[in-house]
Amino acid sequence: GTTTLRNAACEPEIEDLAELLNKMGAKISGAGTPTMTIEGVEELGEAEHEIIPDRIETGTFIVAAAITNGELTIKKCQPKHLESVIEKLTEVGVEIDQLDETTLHVKRSDKGLTAKDVITQPHPKFPTDMQAQYMALMTQAEGTSVVVETIFENRFMHVAEMHRMGADIEIDGNQATITGKSALTGAKVLASDLRASASLVLAGLAAEGETMIDRVYHIDRGYETIVKKISNLGGDITRIKEAITKTAEGENA
């Protein structure tokens, strides 16, 4: 029979999964649009498929370069999957040059970072999975910015931990107001979820002194060998059991 999905997610990961399943013999159309049609088949077979790069990991490392005033070349990414993030980060003062279809060169503008508002929305708008990282960046931007979370409830758990580091953030319902630029200092903080973990790592990179992040196991769900990658970029980061310790004295990432 035929199944029709309406109000479906439009993320590139949905398209990628449908592409794999179609290679295996499925009959799926409309992936990446709000309406998908699935024709039932008798069985699925074998297939070979290269999955797409993680757009949120790419976005996180763009922020890492910007928040530390570093310079970074990101290879094997898919900029077309991250257009809303690239547009917003360019607006705040991150210079992002696309060298080819899968390579980005990133650095902070010499003029510094300027606070800009953002609203999380379904793809292709600004993703909720970049909200916490963007908020960390806004603590280092001049001026006041407002982040409005429209996708998930209670997704500001990282704010209390950023307060420990000296961030000036006020929450009112699903809205957070960030006043920068804050001089962040290292502290012992607690990661509540995957993206909160990433945002605290970013804040730790920008902070003076040492930051220890407990319950860091959350980060493993979305970032492969993040400690190794940041270390290779010059960040002072060490994994100690279930915590990540970070110092950022003069380091760029």
Residue 206 lies in a domain: yes
pLDDT at residue 251, as a whole number: 41
Residue numbers of the chain with a pLDDT score lower than 70? 242-245, 247-253
CA 167 to CA 45: how far, in whole Å?
A: 52
Residue 44 lies in a domain: no
Same domain, 21 and 73: no
pLDDT at residue 253, as a whole number: 39
CA 200 to CA 133: how far, in whole Å?
A: 8
Same domain, 134 and 167: yes
For the segment 89-136, what is each residue's pLDDT rounded down to a tens digit? 999 999 999 999 999 999 999 999 999 999 999 999 999 999 999 999
How many whole angstroms from its chain centre is CA 113? 18
CATH number, domain with residue 128: 3.65.10.10
HSE-CB for 192 with a 13 A CA cutoff: 11
Tell me the three state secondary structure of residue 97: strand
Same domain, 134 and 10: no
pLDDT at residue 241, as a whole number: 74
Same domain, 119 and 35: no
CA 222 to CA 198: how far, in whole Å?
A: 9
Same domain, 184 and 97: yes
Same domain, 110 and 12: no
How many whole angstroms from its chain centre is CA 162? 17
Domain extent for 162:
55-247
Same domain, 35 and 61: no
CA 162 to CA 173: how far, in whole Å?
A: 18
pLDDT at residue 252, as a whole number: 40
Closest listed residue to residue 221, CA positions, set 193, 202, 240 = 193
